[in-house]
């Protein structure tokens, strides 16, 4: 042991002798590699006569040396070799320049501190394994990479990035500090800390990156990160709580590689015309950004999402300020909590806006306009709400899907289809069906019930139920403003006790059946095919009793024999009837039918018109409520049964005399194809005050044209038959109907007949040659007027205007079709068809 101790002391002395300080004394060459430029004492040349190798200076600094540049010697230094030292100090009195050039610099476990002079980075790397401290002077970084393992502090002086990269690679919690205002800029920054290790930006300070920020691993804590260009968040990033700001002019991009930003705020401060684009860095079609208790604020500029990507925003609040705009993804945009528009703009981009999460979501519209979504999905946790201010509106242009949660306050304006899942939690947000497109409504909640006010405000279009709809809560109503709601016996509209349907009219009613439950009188606002024809009942005796009402704009004779009449009746209506069924209970009620002369026919003596009911074998007379016979008859009104009705079935108007000209009774109306013609046959069983019949046709069943008129008999009680021919029908499917006009202007329509006119077969009487042709051919045997020749392509489109026809003799005609492209054409002549092959 006595021998070992002296040897150990000798070894430690030897190591300490090898590790020392080196002072720049600026010899004649100025090169780092020249030992004559170094001393082991400040401001002195080496005078150690014992070291023959360093006769004019000490050795060049090595891994164990701390290098000093002091005020004693201020000459410039040129780094002409690879540098590997323990530390470097550029003191405040030093005024020279240290030029790195193309040689790497590595600084060990002692700091790199600059207080004076200028360090001019070159094109090689700088590795700082301890602290980097700029406390004066000028540091011009390398254009390659500056790596700092521990603290990075700019206290004073000037930092210039030189278009290089700075990598922060701490292995323990370290600090970034920049006291300069405005903050010094970095070109490219990489944060590559050990997993779970945090680089804290001092509170109030900013790490400002002009080109690119790579967040590879570790965390950024406190302070602010400002980015003008790209930001890449890699899969290994561990979050943190520094605030992220995108600023400057030009576009910025944020790439998310299966990772999220810090647990802190993100703010956009771009110029108003510039954008931040969120990119799917890993290509999986999904991005997640933000965290609870933190906000995304778009103060200025446009936030844009990469096309085809689903984006989940986990922020506490997404705020769009006056000069900000969010252009949503065309995929699905998930919002976990609040969305606020403080004068800014949300652009739906034809994507899906989906509210989700376990907390209340508020939509705050402080911009004086609606929030407009293309498609909307509500999928909050049970009982959680999507809430508007009472005066605000959320407008959905396409599909609305309600999966879970509640809709609370404000107004929901819907222009597309609606699907309500069984897990939807209701809510009192007002629903308005709007727009001119047809809409579908599917309600799959418990008992198919909705608990909200519903407004129908559609322009010439309908909402069609795909499931039953029950409005049973008396706190809410159905408001008819414009448009119709279409129902069926399977997909029925139920109206509960004390629930009302308000403001029904000729432009807004229920096209189909309604079931009313309750003990109050009720008017069923029903109609069909654009005709409003309500039916009403008096109050049932029990709140659980229910009735179903429906209107049919057809002659009841098709289903119920109009010749089978109560002995008091002369005839029944030939244009309309109602079905009124008592579905639950045994309450007798008075029944009221409404009329107007346009749909119901002229009524001369209201006292002779009664409510009639089909009892299964004949029409029964249920009287009326007319007290004064002979009074003036209004053009529209209603009649009520004289007594409460106890049995229920079809109802219509009937007359006790021939005096009331209820409209024409059609026995049949048929349309048949005869070669190229359509033959129209019809017959009436009775006519009163009838003027004529218009023959109308359509290619789509919606847009009609009158092609002929036939004079009517006027008044008749016997069968009269009529016929008309359409000599020029459409090719393909066509629709025909009759419009019967009365002398006083009233009218009614017949049922619609559908026919299909096909291409006629090749004529054996008229020949075309040559066929195929190269642009012209001759018709042989055609003796009719050439003006009647017509040509069509195989789609049925007429192309007659593109051909020329010249009569050569009484039986020979030349047709030129040079202006038509190659193809197959159909030539019609003399009510015959010839298939012509044009091969120019």
Domains and CATH numbers, the chain: 17-123 (no CATH), 164-330 (no CATH), 350-512 (no CATH), 531-655 (no CATH), 665-757 (2.60.40.10), 767-838 (2.60.40)
Torsion sign, CA atoms 427, 429, 433, 439: negative
**DSSP string for 454-499:** EEEEEEEEEEEESS-EEE--TT--EEEEEEEEE--SSS-EEE-TT-
Q: Which pairing describes strands 619-621 and 665-674: parallel, antiparallel, or unpaired?
A: unpaired
Q: Is 479 in contact with 456 (CB distance < 8 Å)?
A: yes
Residue among 657, 679, 660, 658 nearest 669 (CA): 679
| pLDDT number for residue 16 | 40
Q: Mind listing the pLDDT tens digit for each residue in 9-25?
A: 344 334 444 458 999 99
* Helix, strand or coil, per DSSP, at residue 786: helix
* Helix, strand or coil, per DSSP, at residue 718: coil
| pLDDT number for residue 52 | 42
Residue stretches of the chain with pLDDT short of 50 = 1-18, 46-56, 760-764
Which tokens hold the place of 432? 């308005």
Which tokens hold the place of 491? 């997909």
Chain mean position to CA 743: 53
Compute CA distances 820 → 196, 556, 777, 839, whole Å: 76, 53, 13, 10
Interatomic CA distance for residues 96 and 81, integer angstroms: 19
Residue among 413, 397, 402, 411 nearest 380 (CA): 402
Q: Is 221 in contact with 245 (CB distance < 8 Å)?
A: no
| pLDDT number for residue 780 | 81
Buried residues in 124-157 as b, exposed as e (16+ CB within 10 A): bbbbbbbbbbbbbbbbbbbbbbbbbbbbbbbeeb
Cα separation of the two ends of the chain: 117
Which tokens hold the place of 410? 């404000």
Q: Is 124 in contact with 142 (CB distance < 8 Å)?
A: yes
Q: Which residues contact 632 (CB under 8 A, 6 or more apart)?
A: none
Q: Which residues contact 8 (CB under 8 A, 6 or more apart)?
A: none
| pLDDT number for residue 45 | 52
Interatomic CA distance for residues 326 and 314, integer angstroms: 16
Interatomic CA distance for residues 390 and 463, integer angstroms: 25
| pLDDT number for residue 763 | 42
Which tokens hold the place of 3? 């021998």
Given the structure tokens 């229910």, which residue do they identify?
546
Q: What are the backbone angles phi and psi of residue 176, rounded to the nearest 5°?
A: -105, 130
DSSP state of 258: S
Buried residues in 236-275 as b, exposed as e (16+ CB within 10 A): ebbbbbbbbbbbbeebbbbbbbbbbbbbbbbbbbbeeebb
Which tokens hold the place of 446? 């418990």
Interatomic CA distance for residues 495 and 483, integer angstroms: 19
| pLDDT number for residue 18 | 46
Element (H, E) at 362: strand 361-365
Interatomic CA distance for residues 610 and 602, integer angstroms: 14
Q: What are the backbone angles phi and psi of residue 656, rounded to the nearest 5°?
A: -80, -5
Torsion of CA 209, 215, 217, 222, to 10 degrees: 60
Within 179-250, strands assigned E span: 185-192, 198-201, 206-221, 224-227, 230-233, 237-240, 243-248
Element (H, E) at 24: strand 21-24
Torsion sign, CA atoms 155, 157, 160, 166: negative
| pLDDT number for residue 497 | 97
Q: Is 734 in contact with 757 (CB distance < 8 Å)?
A: yes
Which tokens hold the place of 650? 């079809």
Number of residues that this document lists for the chain: 840
Q: Does the reported pTM lie above 0.85?
A: no
643 by Cβ neighbours in 10 Å (0-12 / 13-18 / 19+) ranks as: exposed
Q: Which residues contact 16 (CB under 8 A, 6 or more apart)?
A: none
């Amino acid at each position: 042991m006595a021998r070992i101790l002296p040897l150990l002391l000798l070894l430690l002395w030897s190591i300490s002798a090898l590790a020392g300080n080196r002072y720049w004394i600026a010899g004649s060459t100025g090169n780092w590699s020249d030992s004559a430029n170094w001393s082991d004492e400040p401001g002195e040349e080496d005078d150690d006569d014992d070291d023959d190798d360093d006769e004019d200076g000490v050795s060049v600094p090595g891994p164990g040396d701390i290098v000093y540049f002091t005020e004693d010697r201020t000459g410039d230094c040129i780094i002409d070799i690879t540098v590997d030292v323990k530390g470097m100090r550029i003191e405040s009195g030093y005024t020279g320049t240290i030029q790195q050039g193309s040689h790497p610099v590595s600084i060990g476990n002692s700091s790199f501190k600059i207080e004076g002079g200028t360090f001019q980075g070159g094109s090689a790397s700088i590795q700082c394994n301890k602290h980097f401290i700029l406390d004066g002077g000028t540091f011009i970084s390398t254009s390659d990479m500056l790596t700092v393992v521990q603290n990075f502090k700019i206290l004073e002086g000037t930092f210039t990035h030189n278009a290089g990269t700075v990598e922060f690679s701490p292995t323990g919690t370290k600090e970034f500090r920049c006291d300069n205002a405005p903050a010094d800029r970095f070109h490219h920054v990489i944060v590559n800390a050990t997993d779970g290790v945090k680089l804290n930006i001092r509170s109030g300070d900013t790490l400002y990156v002009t080109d690119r920020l790579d967040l590879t691993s570790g965390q950024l804590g406190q302070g602010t990160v400002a980015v003008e260009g790209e930001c890449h968040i890699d899969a290994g990033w561990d979050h943190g709580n520094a605030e992220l700001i995108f600023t400057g002019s030009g576009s910025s991009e944020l790439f998310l590689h299966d990772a999220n930003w810090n647990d802190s705020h993100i703010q956009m401060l771009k110029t108003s015309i510039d954008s931040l684009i969120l990119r799917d860095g890993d290509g999986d079609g999904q991005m997640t950004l933000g965290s609870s208790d933190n906000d995304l604020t778009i103060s200025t500029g446009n936030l844009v999402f990469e096309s085809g990507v689903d984006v989940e925003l986990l922020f506490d609040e997404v705020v769009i300020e006056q000069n900000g705009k969010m252009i949503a993804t065309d995929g699905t945009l998930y919002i976990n909590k609040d969305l606020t528009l403080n004068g800014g703009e949300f652009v739906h981009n034809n994507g899906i806006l989906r509210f989700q999460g376990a907390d209340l979501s508020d939509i705050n519209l402080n911009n004086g306009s609606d929030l407009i979504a293309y498609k909307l999905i509500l999928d909050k946790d049970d009982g959680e709400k999507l809430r508007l201010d009472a005066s605000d509106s959320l407008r959905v242009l396409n599909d609305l899907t309600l999966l879970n949660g509640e809709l609370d306050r404000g107004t929901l304006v819907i222009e597309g289809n609606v699907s309500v899942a069984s897990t939807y939690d209701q809510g009192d947000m007002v629903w308005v069906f709007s727009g001119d497109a047809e809409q579908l409504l599917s309600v799959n909640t418990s008992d198919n019930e909705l608990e909200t006010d519903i407004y129908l405000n559609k322009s010439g279009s309908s909402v069609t139920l795909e499931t039953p709809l029950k409005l049973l809560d008396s706190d809410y109503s159905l408001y008819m403003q414009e448009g119709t709601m279409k129902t069926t016996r399977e997909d029925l509209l139920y109206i509960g006790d004390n629930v009302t349907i308000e403001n029904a009219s000729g432009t807004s009613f229920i096209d189909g059946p309604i079931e009313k439950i309750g003990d109050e009188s009720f008017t069923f606002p029903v109609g069909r095919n654009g005709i409003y024809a309500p039916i009403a009942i008096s109050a049932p005796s029990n709140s659980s009793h229910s009735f179903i009402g429906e209107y049919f704009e057809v002659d009841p004779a098709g289903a119920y024999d109009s010749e089978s009449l109560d002995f008091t009746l002369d005839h029944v209506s030939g244009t309309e009837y109602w079905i009124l069924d008592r579905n639950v209970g045994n309450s007798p009620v008075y029944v009221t039918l409404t009329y107007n002369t346009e749909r119901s026919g002229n009524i001369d003596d209201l006292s002779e018109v009664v409510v009639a009911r089909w009892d299964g074998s004949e029409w029964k007379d249920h009287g009326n409520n007319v007290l004064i016979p002979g009074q003036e008859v209004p053009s529209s009104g209603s009649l009520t049964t004289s007594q409460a009705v106890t049995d229920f079935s079809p109802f219509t108007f009937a007359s006790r005399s021939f005096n009331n000209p209820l409209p024409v009774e059609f026995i049949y109306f048929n349309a048949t194809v005869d070669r190229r013609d359509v033959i129209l046959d019809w017959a009436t069983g009775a006519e009163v005050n009838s003027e004529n019949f218009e023959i109308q046709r359509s290619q789509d069943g919606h847009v009609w044209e009158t092609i002929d008129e036939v004079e009517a008999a006027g008044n008749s009680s016997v069968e009269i038959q009529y016929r008309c021919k359409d000599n020029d029908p459409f090719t393909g499917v066509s629709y025909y109907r009759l419009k019967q006009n009365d002398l006083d202007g009233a009218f009614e329509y017949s049922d619609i007949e559908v026919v299909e006119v096909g291409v006629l077969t090749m004529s054996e009487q008229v020949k075309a040659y040559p066929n195929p042709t190269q642009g012209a051919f001759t018709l042989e045997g055609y003796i009719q007027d050439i003006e009647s020749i017509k040509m069509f392509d195989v789609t049925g489109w007429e192309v007659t205007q593109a051909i020329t026809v010249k009569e050569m003799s009484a039986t020979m005609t030349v047709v030129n079709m040079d202006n038509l492209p190659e193809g197959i054409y159909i030539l019609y002549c003399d009510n015959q068809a010839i298939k012509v092959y044009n091969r120019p």
